[in-house]
Amino acid sequence: ICPTILLNSLLVYSFTLPHLPDCASFLSLSVLESILFTWISQMNHLPMYIDHDKNMDWFSTQLQATCNVNQSFFNDWVTGHLNFQIEHHLFPTMPRHNFWKVAPLVKSMCAKHGIEYQSKPLFTGFADIVQ
């Protein structure tokens, strides 16, 4: 268990939640949420090969360093739209719920310039983490 989560739970929630089972439930959900977020955010970054010796433009570097998870209602919901990591890296201040609108434009730009736009199924992304 992350010491920060444990400390926060003990210092803050032990005073506001009246029962120990409530604290344990909250702590368990916080840990599960942290694990899920780590897997979701890292499946788009860890498996990517990054060649630091290449002198590439910024756009190409962003597409080499990350990939997307295929879009579906379920994937959008589970990942909180973090399945659009390419768009997130290209437009970091864009609200997440708008990434699906710009994705076709990014794909067409990649096709026009011969840059690979990588997208994979959700469970393939999870499997890539442990390989």
Burial of 125 (0-12, 13-18, 19+ CB in 10 A): buried
Residues 82-105, mean pLDDT to the nearest whole number: 92
Please report, to the nearest 10 degrees, the dihedral formed by the alpha carbons of residues 55, 48, 70, 42 taken in order: -120
What is d(CA 46, CA 38) in angstroms, rounded to the nearest whole number?
11
DSSP per-residue letters across 88-107: HHH-TTS-GGGHHHHHHHHH
Mean of pLDDT over the chain: 82
Kindly tell me if the per-residue pLDDT of 48 is higher than 80.
no
129: alpha, beta or left? (left if phi > 0; alpha if psi -120 to 50)? alpha
Does the model's pTM come out above 0.85?
Answer: no
Model confidence at 16, pLDDT cuts 50, 70, 90, reads: low
